[in-house]
Copies of this chain bind each other. A is one copy, B any other.
Amino acid sequence: MSNNSINKASVVNRYLQDRLEPKDYADAFAPSNIALCKYWGKRDGELNLPVNSSLSVSLAHLGSHTKISRSEDGSDKVRLNNKDLPSDSDFSRKVIDFVDLFRRGQKIPLIVDTRNNIPTAAGLASSASGFAALMLALDDFFSLNLDKSVLSAFARMGSGSASRSIYTGFVRWDMGSRADGMDSVASQLDNRWPDLCIGLIKVSSARKPVDSRSGMQRTIETSKLYPSWPEQAGSDLITLEQAIDEQNFAQMGACAEKNAMSMHATMMSAWPPLVYWLPESLAVMQQVWQLREAGVAVYFTMDAGPNLKLLFETASLSVLQTEFPIMEVIQPFSD
């Protein structure tokens, strides 16, 4: 379904004025998000257009803070967590490539300074909040005044799930159908869930052996079970929206856990098998299942990595803090 005549630059071009009017400084924050219905599989790798719609909850104050200012010595500088990065590092190149979509050859050397306040113990990816914060900061710095849905579409071109990090709370990313992806954008649900807690459990901070993009690709190309995934995700999305509307925690938790397990199932049936779990991940999963059998309303979700994100309500907070002393707790709607 990829359309080779459409690339990121041609999509962005249509929304820009002829010449940028840069300010001296801008900054922006965007939150991390945890998907309850996962983004898993691209129908277009250039624009990061997904094969299924997805739904997430944002992590409130945990995310990325990005500052943009003029660089006085004529060359771009990229800083991450208070460290200057070499210009040929992966991170620098991704950031500068993204910025170039907007500069379009104009000589406006910049300092892009990103700080992630995600606790290193959390084991969370930061590309979603990072590209969302960068997009928001660019919008301000160049006075682009883009609509939020356009910001979501552009952030998506940096990292798929960044489309969701433009918003807080519950966020749905519609897969869309247009070749240029301008309808593949996120939007915020009205619902709030003050009692909802997310427990971050890190079992490893090792770099994952296969990045998400390659993992998606391998799964699509080699898993015979993957073709069933889009339908699973589609039905999970409906179930989750209904559960959120009715604040039915058991329905939400069960659906989110089943969705995550099904995503991991598609990976495991790829070749070579893609197993992001570590033995320690499985031990935590078993602990969660035992707690649930004992009557504790706790579920988990996992992304393309070994760490777990528990889902529960404040009523279960103290028992879970005792069970998982290393857990970092976020309350998306009250933090």
Chain B residues within 8 Å of A265, by CB: 225, 265-266, 268-269
**Residue A227 is within 8 A (CB to CB) of chain B in the complex:** yes
So how many copies of this chain end up in the complex? 2
Contact mask for chain A residues 250-287; partner B; CB cutoff 8 A; 1 contact, 0 none: 00001001100110111011011101011110110110
Stretch of A139-147, A185-193, A228-236 contacting B (4+ beta carbons < 8 Å): A228-236
In the complex the two chains form, what is the Cα distance from A285 to B225 in whole Å? 21
On whether the beta carbons of A261 and B254 are closer than 8 Å, the reply is no
In the complex the two chains form, what is the Cα distance from A307 to B254 in whole Å? 28
In the complex the two chains form, what is the Cα distance from A285 to B279 in whole Å? 10
With beta carbons under 8 angstroms apart, the residue of B224, B231, B286 that contacts A235 is: B224
On whether the beta carbons of A289 and B272 are closer than 8 Å, the reply is yes
On whether the beta carbons of B258 and A269 are closer than 8 Å, the reply is yes
Given contacts A224-B235, A225-B229, A228-B228, contact A262 B254 (CB under 8 A): no
On whether the beta carbons of B225 and A266 are closer than 8 Å, the reply is yes
A300 to chain B, nearest CB (A): 10
On whether the beta carbons of B279 and A283 are closer than 8 Å, the reply is yes
Using CB atoms, name the residue of chain B closest to A259: B269
Chain B residues within 8 Å of A258, by CB: 269, 271, 273
On whether the beta carbons of B269 and A224 are closer than 8 Å, the reply is no
Please indicate which of the listed interface residues A231, A254, A264, A282 has the most CB atoms of chain B within 10 Å of its own CB: A282
Residues 129-158 of A contacting B (Cβ, < 8 Å): none
In the complex the two chains form, what is the Cα distance from A268 to B269 in whole Å? 11
Chain B residues within 8 Å of A257, by CB: 273
On whether the beta carbons of B285 and A282 are closer than 8 Å, the reply is no
In the complex the two chains form, what is the Cα distance from A229 to B228 in whole Å? 10
On whether the beta carbons of A264 and B268 are closer than 8 Å, the reply is yes
In the complex the two chains form, what is the Cα distance from A286 to B272 in whole Å? 12
A330 to chain B, nearest CB (A): 24
In the complex the two chains form, what is the Cα distance from A220 to B271 in whole Å? 23
In the complex the two chains form, what is the Cα distance from A162 to B13 in whole Å? 66
Please indicate which of the listed interface residues A261, A266, A268 has the most CB atoms of chain B within 10 Å of its own CB: A261
Q: 12 pairs across A/B with beta carbons < 8 Å?
A: A224-B231, A224-B262, A225-B229, A227-B228, A232-B269, A261-B268, A261-B269, A262-B269, A265-B265, A265-B266, A268-B268, A279-B283
Q: Given contact pairs A228-B228, A275-B286, enumerate 6 new A-B contacts (beta carbons under 8 Å).
A: A225-B229, A225-B262, A232-B269, A261-B273, A279-B282, A282-B282
Closest CB pairs A-B (n = 3): A279-B279, A265-B265, A224-B232
